[in-house]
Chains A and B, each alone.
Chain A
Amino acid sequence: MQFMLLFSRQGKLRLQKWYVPLSDKEKKKITRELVQTVLARKPKMCSFLEWRDLKIVYKRYASLYFCCAIEDQDNELITLEIIHRYVELLDKYFGSVCELDIIFNFEKAYFILDEFLLGGEVQETSKKNVLKAIEQADLLQEPWMHSVLRE
C-alpha cells in the first residue's frame, strides 16, 4: 500500500499515512485530487478506480471516507477488508466510533493503525492482538516505566 487517507464528506482530511517518500507539496496535491475524485463518485459505483498508475480502493463509513492507494499487483478486495478491519479496531477501542473520536484522538487513531499496518503491509490481523498492544500501552504508568528502566 502506498498511502491511506481518511476524509470527511466535506472533504476535510482527518488522517493521512504515507508509506512512500513524497514531498509535502506532492502529498497535498495528491490529497486534493483524490478527495475530489472520490467525493464526486455516486454511492452505487464500484469501490475501485484507476488513478495515475495506482489503484484506489475506498469505502465510506457514515460521514467518513477511507481511501487506500495500492499498486498494480495488489489485491483490491483484501484492501477493502483492510479498511473494514481498521474500522472495527477503531470501533472496538472507542466503543462505536464516530468521526469526532478520530478528530479528538487522532494520535490514538495513528497508534492503532501502526499496530495493524506497518510499512504499508498488514502486520497483525488479529483484533485481539492489536488491541492488546494498544491497551497495554495505555496502561503503562510512568512509575512502572521507571522501574523497568532501572532494572
Chain B
Amino acid sequence: MPAVSKGDGMRGLAVFISDIRNCKSKEAEIKRINKELANIRSKFKGDKALDGYSKKKYVCKLLFIFLLGHDIDFGHMEAVNLLSSNRYTEKQIGYLFISVLVNSNSELIRLINNAIKNDLASRNPTFMGLALHCIASVGSREMAEAFAGEIPKVLVAGDTMDSVKQSAALCLLRLYRTSPDLVPMGDWTSRVVHLLNDQHLGVVTAATSLITTLAQKNPEEFKTSVSLAVSRLSRIVTSASTDLQDYTYYFVPAPWLSVKLLRLLQCYPPPDPAVRGRLTECLETILNKAQEPPKSKKVQHSNAKNAVLFEAISLIIHHDSEPNLLVRACNQLGQFLQHRETNLRYLALESMCTLASSEFSHEAVKTHIDTVINALKTERDVSVRQRAADLLYAMCDRSNAKQIVSEMLRYLETADYAIREEIVLKVAILAEKYAVDYSWYVDTILNLIRIAGDYVSEEVWYRVLQIVTNRDDVQGYAAKTVFEALQAPACHENMVKVGGYILGEFGNLIAGDPRSSPPVQFSLLHSKFHLCSVATRALLLSTYIKFINLFPETKATIQAVLRAGSQLRNADVELQQRAVEYLTLSSVASTDVLATVLEEMPPFPERESSILAKLKRKKGPGAGSALDDGRRDPSSNDINGGVEPTPSTVSTPSPSADLLGLRAAPPPAAPPASAGAGNLLVDVFDGPAAQPSLGPTPEEAFLSELEPPAPESPMALLADPAPAADPGPEDIGPPIPEADELLNKFVCKNNGVLFENQLLQIGVKSEFRQNLGRMYLFYGNKTSVQFQNFSPTVVHPGDLQTQLAVQTKRVAAQVDGGAQVQQVLNIECLRDFLTPPLLSVRFRYGGTPQALTLKLPVTINKFFQPTEMAAQDFFQRWKQLSLPQQEAQKIFKANHPMDAEVTKAKLLGFGSALLDNVDPNPENFVGAGIIQTKALQVGCLLRLEPNAQAQMYRLTLRTSKEPVSRHLCELLAQQF
C-alpha cells in the first residue's frame, strides 16, 4: 500500500496507482487504464463544473498514465485551467503536466504563455519560480519569443529574490540554447557577469552556467568574467572544508561550482599575467590536494575531489601553455591508470588521449604505453578497453608505431564486434601514416583482412591498392605477398579483390618464378572465382583481360573462360557484358591497341586519406584529430599523404559511387565537357545525370574510380555511346567567363552592380550578421521590350547544399521594358564552404531565350565577425595555430597602387578586425576574426606584409581549418 504521501495527499490517485500495481497482466493493466481514461473523460465533459481539487487529481492521474508509456490526447485544457488557479498545489500540478506533456501546440501555448506572464508579474516568488521552471522545461521557440526579453530584467533586478534569480538564470540559458537569436545582448550582460561575486553560492552556481554558455558565442562581451571566475575559484580552493557550510560536499568545498568555473575558463585563452599567476596557483593547489590523504573513505568524497581535478586538467590541456602543469597532470593521470576504481581508470585513459596531442606532454604520455597495452588486454569492461585503444591510437608516433599496430592487431582477434570496424580503420591509418617501409604496410593490411575481413571496409582495401599503385618499390613485394595469401584454402573475399587487382596490375613482377608463373597465377585466382560475389567476379574478369595483355600465353585459356556459357550468358547483366566486351576486345584488337587500353594504372593524385574521413564520420568531429590536426610529422607528409582519384578521372557516373565513400561529393555526372574547365564546371553539371549505358553496380563504380582518365579506356571503347540526356529544367550552363572577376569585386564590399550588358543590369545589396545574411538582387530591364518567362534561380553546386542554405523568393515572370524587379535571398551559412552558389538567370527577349550564369557574391568571409584582441592574445593564438596545414601563405605582386588607407579599408571590408600595435613593423597589417557558421566557428588570424620597394605583398592566414586558410588567402590575395 502507499508509502508516505506528504503534503497534499490525493487518495484517489494513490488508489489508482495501487490498482495498476496489482494488475497481474499487461492486459489487465490496459483494461484498468482504459476504464480510468473513460471515467476522466466523462468527468471533464460532464455538465457539473469540477472543483479545483478534482481537476488536479484527474490531471495527475493522466500524467501518471502518460508516464507508464501510454499516449494522452486530452486533458491539456484542464491542465491549463489549473495554471490560473490561486491554489499553489493546483497551479503546481498544472505546470508539471505542461512541462512533461506539452509540445508546441500553438493554440495552447498562447494560453500557457498568458498564465506564465501573470505569474511572472505576480511578484510572488513561489509563483515566479513555478513559471520559470515551466519555461525552462518546455523551452520552445514560442516561449522564447514571449519571454526572452523579460527574463534578463528579472535576473538583474535589485529586488529579485535569490531563488528566483537562480531560476531566471537557468531559464534564460535554456531559451538561449533553443533560440539564441531571440535573446538580445545588452546592458544586463555586464550585471550578469557580476553575479559571479554574489554572496549566495547558489546564485553563483546558476549564473556560472549561463555565463559559460553565453561566453562561448560572445567571448568579447563576457571576457571580464575571467578574472572574476579566477578569484572566486581561488577563494573556494583555499577555503577550509567547513567554511562553505552546506555548499561543502563530503569535505570538498563547492565541487559543482568549482567544475563550472573551470569550465567557464575553458572558453578563453590563458588570461593576462596577473590573473594567470593566481590561476596557476589554484591549479597547483588542486593538483596538490590530489596527493593528500583522503579526508573521508566515502566514494562521494573522492568522486567530488576528482571531478574538480579532471576539470582542472581539462583546463590545463586547453591552455596548453604551461609545460610544468601539463607534465604534472600527466603524472597524476598515470597514477589513476592503475587505480582500483574502474571509473578512474576509464577517465584517465580518456583524458590522456587529449594530453597526447600536446607537444609538451606527448612524450610523458608515451611512457605509459605498457600500462595502456595491458589495459587493452586485461580490462573486463569493453568501454574501458575502447578507451585504451583510443589512447594507443593517440599516442602513436614513428617510434612506437610497430609495437602499437601489432598490439592492436592482436587485440582485434578477440575484440568485441561492436568496435572491430573502428579498430580496423585505426590500424589501417597508423600503418599507412607511420610506414617506414611499405612492405610492413602491405603486410599489416593483409593481416587486417585475414583477421577481420568482414570489418575491412572498402576504403581500407581501396587505399592499399592506391598506395601500391603509386609506389613502384613495393609493387613486386605486394604481388608476391598477395599471391602467397591467396594460397590459403579459405581466404576472405576482400583478399581475393586485393589479390585480383594487384596481380592484374603487377603479376608480371613475379611471373619469372616458376612457382608463380602466369598460368599458376591465373588458376589460383580462378579457383576462387565461383565462390565470390558478383562484384568480385566482375573485378576478376577485368584482371583476366589484363592478364591477356601481360601474359599472351594465357590468352587461349582466358578466352575459353570468357566464352563459356556461364559467362557469356550470365544472368547478371554486368558479368555478361564484361565477358562479351572483353572477349571481343581480346579477339579484335591488335597487340598495340590492347597494350594501350590495358596499360598499367597511372598514379593517383595525392589527397587526404579517405580512411581518415571515414573514421571521422564514424566518431564525429575530432576523432581523427590526434593524427589529423595534431602533431603531424612533416617529413611523412609527402610520401604518406593521401592519394585519391580526382573527380576528373571519373569516366562513368554511377549512383552507387557514393557508397564507396572515396569522395564526399556525389560524382559529377557530365562527361568532361571542355578541356581546362576544371572542377567547377564539372560541379555545375551535377544534378540530373546522364544515364550510363552500363548498369551501375558497385563494381562498375570501382572500376570507374580507378580507371585512368584516358578516353580510350576499355569501357568507353566498347560501350554503346551513352544517349545524351535531355537537359532538365534545372540544368544550367557554365558561369560566364567574367564570373570570377565579378565575384572578386564583391569580396570586400556588399553593394554594387554585379552584372550589366545591353539587356540587363543586376544590382546587389546585401548585409550579413553572424552566420546569416540577406541579399537583395535588382534586375533591371534596360530595353523597352518586356522580358518573358523571367526566372532567376540559385543553384548549389556539389556539396554546397549542406554548407549553405539560400532561400529565394519567386519573382514575377514578366519584367516590363525599363522596369526593375527585386528578389530577396535569405542566406544561412551552415558550415564552411569554398565555392559560391550560382545564380542562373533565364528569360525570353523578343522570342529568343536568354540564359546567363553568374557566381553569387557570397563568399565565406561574409560571415566574418571581427575580433579585437591585445597583442599578447594575438600571438598566443597565432602560436596555437602553428601546424603547417593551418597556415596558408601567398607572396604576390601588387596589382593596384600600394596605399595604406585603401588596404585598410579593404581588410575591414573583408570582415576581419584590424589590430593596431600588434605587429612590431608598423607597415604591416594584422587582423583577426571568427567565421560564424551554424555548425562551427572558425577562428582566423591574418597578416599582410607590404613591400613597397618590390611592389609585393606577403599574406599569411592561420585558421583552425586547413581549407579555410587556403581559401581565404586566395580570396584576399586577389584584392591588392
Chain A residues in contact with chain B, CB under 8 A?
A: 13, 15-16, 19, 21, 23-24, 28, 42, 44-50, 53, 73, 75-78, 80-82, 84-85, 93-95, 98, 100-101, 103-108, 110-111, 114, 118-129, 133, 136-138, 140, 142, 145-146, 148-149
Contacts and interface: CB of A to CB of B under 8 A. Distances in A.
| Interface-centre pick from A19, A95, A142 (highest chain B CB count, 10 A) | A142
Interface in B255-285: 255-257, 259-260, 263, 266
A111 B255 contact: no
A140 B140 contact: no
A149 to B, nearest CB: 5
Interface in B76-134: 86-89, 92-93, 96, 99-100, 103, 122, 124, 126, 129, 132-133
Contact of A93 (B6, B86, B122, B620): B6
B96 A110 contact: yes
B137 A114 contact: yes
Which of B2, B163, B263, B266 has the most chain A CB atoms closer than 10 A to its own CB?
A: B163
A122 B380 CA distance: 33
B237 interface: no
Nearest to B303: A77
A105 B256 contact: no
B307 A138 contact: no
A147 to B, nearest CB: 10
Contacts of B21: 103
A78 B864 CA distance: 37
8 contacts: A44-B380, A46-B342, A104-B17, A114-B99, A122-B256, A137-B92, A140-B89, A142-B86
B133 to A, nearest CB: 5
Nearest to B177: A119
B343 interface: yes
B913 interface: no
B86 A123 contact: no
Contacts of B620: 53
A140 B60 contact: no
Nearest to A130: B202
Interface centre among A21, A84, A114, A119, by most chain B C-beta atoms within 10 angstroms, is A119
Contacts of B386: 50
A137 B133 CA distance: 14
B173 interface: yes
B173 to A, nearest CB: 5
B829 interface: no
B300 A84 contact: yes
A45 B246 contact: no
Nearest to A128: B246
B514 interface: no
Given A45-B380, A140-B88, 16 more contacts: A15-B67, A16-B67, A94-B4, A100-B2, A104-B3, A104-B5, A108-B6, A108-B7, A119-B170, A121-B173, A122-B205, A122-B256, A123-B170, A123-B202, A125-B257, A137-B7
Interface string B373-384: 000000011011
B201 A126 contact: yes
Contact of B171 (A24, A47, A98, A118): A118
B306 interface: yes
A15 B67 CA distance: 7
B814 interface: no
B167 A118 contact: yes
A45 B3 contact: no
B355 interface: no
B173 A13 contact: no
Given A100-B3, A103-B21, A105-B5, A21 B140 contact: yes
A119 B139 contact: yes
A75 to B, nearest CB: 5
Nearest to A136: B126
B58 interface: no
Contacts of A118: 132-133, 136, 166-167, 170-171, 174, 206
Contact of B166 (A28, A48, A124, A142): A124
A32 B659 CA distance: 30
Nearest to A49: B383
A45 B92 contact: no
